[in-house]
Amino acid sequence: MLSSKARYALRALVELAREPEGQITAGELAVRADAPRKFLEAILLELARRRIVISRRGKFGGYSLAREPHLISFAEVIRVLDGPLALAPCVSRLSFRKCDDCPDLATCSLREALLRARDATAEVLEGYSLAEAAAGRGAELFHESQSE
């Protein structure tokens, strides 16, 4: 499940991607992302450490994206804040480990479904960038799926 930390981060990053000036204060980002300011500031600090945003101090300070919005995927942000996309560690590509309660990976009756879920989730989230979200592609995709 997506944490509130990741949701607030994604909302704030989409707002940064939409900003023509490229820089927004933490207070303004909190308003636009409908996020608690102090919580969002802590999230932005982590994103700055991971080089997703750039923080500038001072009177004309604020936050901006460290890279072009089309180069930052939802998957990258979620992994930074929530960890692996996989539902279980035994199907994670980046943080693989055997599940504590699993006697044998080869005969696990859950693993195939979890692998498929991981692959489908990763495909969507790695293929969806801040630029697409800022351009409103999410609403278009939602309406397309609803009409099918």
The full set of domain ranges for the chain reads 4-65, 84-128
Mention every residue, 6+ apart, whose C-beta is less than 8 A from residue 99: 88, 89, 90, 108
pTM: 0.84
State residue 91's pLDDT score: 83
State residue 44's pLDDT score: 96
Backbone φ and ψ of 54, nearest 5°: -115, 135
- Weakly modelled stretches of the chain, pLDDT under 50: 139-143, 145-146
Run of H or E residues at 32: helix 26-33
Helices 26-33 & 37-49, crossing angle to 10 degrees?
110
State residue 104's pLDDT score: 79
State residue 144's pLDDT score: 52
State residue 73's pLDDT score: 97
State residue 41's pLDDT score: 95
CATH class in words for 4-65:
mainly alpha
State residue 30's pLDDT score: 95
